[in-house]
C-alpha cells in the first residue's frame, strides 16, 4: 500500500480524493491546501509520502512539482497548456532524475488519455487526418477570459463541437449593474480568446443556474494503413469532467510509482507509459482479462 | 534503417509488405514462404535480419517464433486465440530472454490495438461494463468451421453485432453436388461454433462473389470514475481487416526493436508497451504533435 497526498482541493482535488477511495493499492494520507506546501514538502522528506497528486491551477504545477520531486516522491498533474508540455516535461525530468523519482505530466483526459488514443490511431493509420472535437461542455480557459471582460459579473463559456475540429462558443454572461449588453458583447467578441471562433453571447440572470461539469469529446481519424485508404476510427465519450480527470490522475500515479520501482526515473507523458501500468492487479491476470 | 523479413505471404503477409513500403525506418529485406523457414533462420543467425513479422496461421506462430527469437531477432505476430495469449507470451519470453531479443505477441487489432483501448478505458473507468461488438465482417474461425461441415463446398461466415457483445452469424454456403440444404443446415447449426449464437444459413451460387475483407468493431464502456457514475465511452472503426493488421504488425515491430535496444528483452503484449514506441519520429516532436 502506497501513501498518497493531494495538493489542492478544488474540483480536481475532490475528484482525486474520490478516485483514491476506490483504489486498493493507494491510500490517501492527507489533503494539503496551497498554503501548506512547506508542510507537504517536509512530510515528503520524512518519507511519509510516496506520491503527490498535484491539483493546483496549471500555472503553479511546475514550481510545486520541482520542489516535491527533489524529495524523492513521484508526482502527477493534469497540466493542460498543450504548447508548454514539452518544456514542462524537460524541466521536471531534471528534478525527477536527481530525486530518483518519476513525474507524469499532462495526465488528464486531454491532454492525457485522448493523447494515447491519438497515438494509437496514428500507429494504426500513419497517414491521414485526426480531428479532436470537444464538448458540449464548459471551457475553463474561455470562461476565465469571459469573466475578465469589463462589465461581466459572472460567465460560462460552453464549447460546442461543429466537426473537423471547429468549435462554436456559447457564452452566457451575467452583467454587472449598469453595464450595457451591446458594449459588453462587442468587447468580448474582440477578445483574442473569442475573435477566431463563431461566438454567441447570451445575457442571463444567473450563470450559477447553468452550471454543469458534463463534458465530452469525439476524436476521429480517417486515413491510410499501409497503402489502403478509407480506414476510419472514432473515439468518443460523455463524462463528468473533474471525475474523469481525478481518476486518470490516480491511475497515472500508480504507473509513476511502478516506473520508480523499476528505477526508470524521469518525467513522462501518458503516451510514454505502458497502459497496463495504469491498472491495479497482476500482469497476467490483466492480460487475460483485457488482451 | 532496420532490415525486416516477412514469414508467410497470405493476406496478412501482403498487407505487412505494403505497410513496410511506407515506413522510413524499417525496410523489407525479403519475404519467406513457410517452406523457407530454414533459410530464414540461417539468415537471422548471420545477422542479415533485425526483425521478423510472422504472418503464418496462428497455430504455427509459437514454433516459428521460438526458433527465430533464439537467433537474436525480434518477432511480432497477430496470434488471435484469446485464451492462449498468456501461455504463448510465457513460452516466447523464455526464448526472447535467452536470445536477447523482444517478441510482441497478439499484435493485430483484436487482440491488439483494441486491447490497448480496453486497458485505457478501464484506467479511466475502473468499475463498469465493457462490450466488444465485432463486425459486420467475416469471421475467419467461423468460416473455417463452416467449410468443414459435410456437404459444404465453400462458405463465408459473417459476424453481425447485435450490441452488448452479442453477435449474429450469417453463414453463406455453396453446397457440394448432391448435398441437401436442410441436412447441411442442421449439421452446421449443431456445430459448437454456431450452436450458441443466432445463426442463419443461406445457400448461394457463389461464395467468392460475396468476398470482402471489410470489418469493424465497436467497443463501449459505461461505468464509474472514482464515485461518479454514467461515464460513457466508445471506440469504433470500419476498416480493411488485413491492411490494419499488417500496419499494426509493422508499427509493433518498431516498438519491439526499440525495447531490444533498451535491453528490455522478453515477450510482451501491446498493453505492456509505451504507445509512442509504435511511431516513427523523435520523442519530443511526437509529444508536441499528439499529447
Q: Averaged over A150-169, what is the pLDDT?
A: 97
Q: Averaged over A139-144, what is the pLDDT?
A: 90
Q: How far away is chain B from the Cα of A164, in angstroms, using its nearest Cα?
A: 16
Q: Which of the four pLDDT bands, split at 50, 70 and 90, describes residue A140?
A: confident
Identify from A228, A272, A289 which residue to disrupt to test chain B contact, counting B C-beta atoms within 10 A and taking the largest count.
Answer: A228
- Cell readout for A139 is 471551457
Strands (E), B211-252: 214-225, 228-240
Interface of B with A in 119-178 (CB under 8 A): 119-120, 122-127
Rounded to the nearest 10 degrees, what angle do helices A113-124 and B241-261 cross at?
110
SS3 category, A242? helix
CB atoms within 10 A of CB B83: 7
- Cell readout for B195 is 450452436
Identify from B225, B243, B247 which residue to disrupt to test chain A contact, counting A C-beta atoms within 10 A and taking the largest count.
Answer: B225
Facing residues of B175 across strands?
B152
CB contact under 8 A, A291 and B21: no
SS3 category, B185? helix
* Owner of C-alpha cell 450559477: A208
pLDDT 10s digits, A69-82: 999 999 999 999 99
Residues of B in contact with A18 (CB under 8 A): 226-228
Q: Averaged over A248-275, what is the pLDDT?
A: 98
Buried b (16+ CB within 10 A) or exposed e, A147-173: bebebbebbbbbbbbeeeeebebbbbb
Interface of B with A in 90-129 (CB under 8 A): 106, 109, 111, 113, 115-120, 122-127
Mean of all residue pLDDT scores within chain B: 97
Nearest to B290 among A89, A122, A237 (CB): A122
Closest C-alpha to A68, from A274, A256, A270, A262 = A256
Report the residue of chain B nearest A113, measured CA to CA: B120
Residues of B in contact with A115 (CB under 8 A): 290-291
- Cell readout for A190 is 474582440
pLDDT 10s digits, B20-74: 999 999 999 999 999 999 999 999 999 999 999 999 999 999 999 999 999 999 9
Q: Averaged over A178-182, what is the pLDDT?
A: 98
Q: Averaged over B104-120, what is the pLDDT?
A: 98
SS3 category, A215? strand
Residues of A in contact with B278 (CB under 8 A): 119-120, 123
Closest C-alpha to A98, from A131, A121, A67, A53 = A67
pLDDT 10s digits, A49-66: 999 999 999 999 999 999
pLDDT 10s digits, A83-99: 999 999 999 999 999 99
Which residues does A246 contact at the CB level (< 8 Å), separation at least 6? A12, A13, A14, A15, A16, A17, A18, A19, A55, B225, B226
Q: How many CB pairs under 8 A join A and B?
A: 216
Q: Averaged over B102-110, what is the pLDDT?
A: 98
CB contact under 8 A, A271 and B272: no
pLDDT 10s digits, B189-242: 999 999 999 999 999 999 999 989 999 999 999 999 999 999 999 999 999 999
Domains of chain A, each with CATH number or no CATH: 2-111+242-290 (3.40.50.720), 127-225 (3.30.360.10)
**With contact defined as beta carbons under 8 Å apart, do A54 and A16 qualify?**
no
Residues of A in contact with B279 (CB under 8 A): 119, 122-123
pLDDT 10s digits, B143-160: 989 999 999 999 999 999
Which residues does B9 contact at the CB level (< 8 Å), separation at least 6? B17, B31, B33, B55
Residues of A in contact with B82 (CB under 8 A): 291
- Cell readout for A198 is 463563431
Helix, strand, coil content of chain A in percent (nearest 5):
40, 30, 25
Q: Which of the four pLDDT bands, split at 50, 70 and 90, describes residue B141?
A: confident
Nearest to B287 among A19, A21, A271 (CB): A271
Mean of all residue pLDDT scores within chain A: 97
Q: Is the dihedral of CA A272, A275, A281, A287 positive or negative?
A: negative
Tell me the C-alpha distance between A157 and A154, whole Å: 10
Q: Averaged over A154-175, what is the pLDDT?
A: 97
CB atoms within 10 A of CB A20: 22
Report the residue of chain A nearest B229, measured CA to CA: A240
Q: Does A287 touch chain B (CB under 8 A)?
A: yes
- As a whole-number percent, the residues of chain A with pLDDT over 70 amount to 100
Q: Which of the four pLDDT bands, split at 50, 70 and 90, describes residue A141?
A: confident
- Cell readout for B197 is 449464437
* Owner of C-alpha cell 516513427: B280
Strand order in the sheet with A127-134: A127-134, A214-225, A228-240, B228-240, B214-225, B127-134
pLDDT 10s digits, B266-283: 999 999 999 999 999 999
Say if residue B140's pLDDT is above 90.
no
Amino acid at each position: 500500500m502506497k501513501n498518497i497526498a493531494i495538493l489542492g482541493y478544488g474540483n480536481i482535488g475532490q475528484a482525486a480524493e474520490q478516485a483514491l477511495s476506490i483504489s486498493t493499492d493507494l491510500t490517501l494520507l492527507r489533503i494539503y491546501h496551497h498554503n501548506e506546501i512547506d508542510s507537504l514538502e517536509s512530510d515528503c522528506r520524512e518519507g511519509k509520502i510516496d506520491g503527490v497528486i498535484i491539483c493546483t491551477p496549471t500555472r503553479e504545477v511546475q514550481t510545486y512539482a520541482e520542489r516535491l520531486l527533489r524529495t524523492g516522491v513521484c508526482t502527477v498533474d493534469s497540466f493542460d497548456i498543450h504548447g508548454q508540455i514539452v518544456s514542462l516535461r524537460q524541466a521536471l525530468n531534471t528534478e525527477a532524475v536527481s530525486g530518483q523519482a518519476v513525474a507524469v505530466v499532462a495526465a488528464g483526459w486531454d491532454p492525457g488519455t485522448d493523447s494515447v488514443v491519438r497515438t494509437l490511431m496514428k500507429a494504426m493509420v500513419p497517414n491521414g487526418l485526426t480531428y479532436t472535437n470537444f464538448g458540449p461542455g464548459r471551457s475553463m480557459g474561455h470562461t476565465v477570459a469571459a469573466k475578465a471582460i469589463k462589465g461581466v459579473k459572472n460567465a460560462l463559456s460552453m464549447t460546442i463541437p461543429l466537426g473537423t475540429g471547429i468549435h462554436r462558443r456559447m457564452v452566457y454572461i451575467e452583467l454587472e449593474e449598469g453595464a450595457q449588453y451591446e458594449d459588453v458583447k462587442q468587447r468580448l467578441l474582440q477578445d483574442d480568446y473569442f475573435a477566431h471562433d463563431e461566438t454567441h453571447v447570451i445575457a442571463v440572470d444567473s450563470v450559477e443556474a447553468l452550471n454543469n461539469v458534463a463534458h465530452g469529446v469525439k476524436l476521429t481519424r480517417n486515413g491510410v494503413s499501409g497503402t489502403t485508404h478509407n480506414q476510419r476510427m472514432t473515439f468518443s465519450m460523455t463524462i463528468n469532467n473533474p471525475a474523469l480527470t481525478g481518476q486518470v490522475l490516480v491511475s497515472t500515479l500508480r504507473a509513476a510509482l511502478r516506473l520508480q520501482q523499476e528505477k526508470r526515473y524521469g518525467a513522462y507523458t501518458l503516451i510514454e507509459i505502458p497502459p497496463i501500468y495504469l491498472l491495479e492487479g497482476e500482469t497476467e491476470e490483466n492480460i487475460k482479462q483485457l488482451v
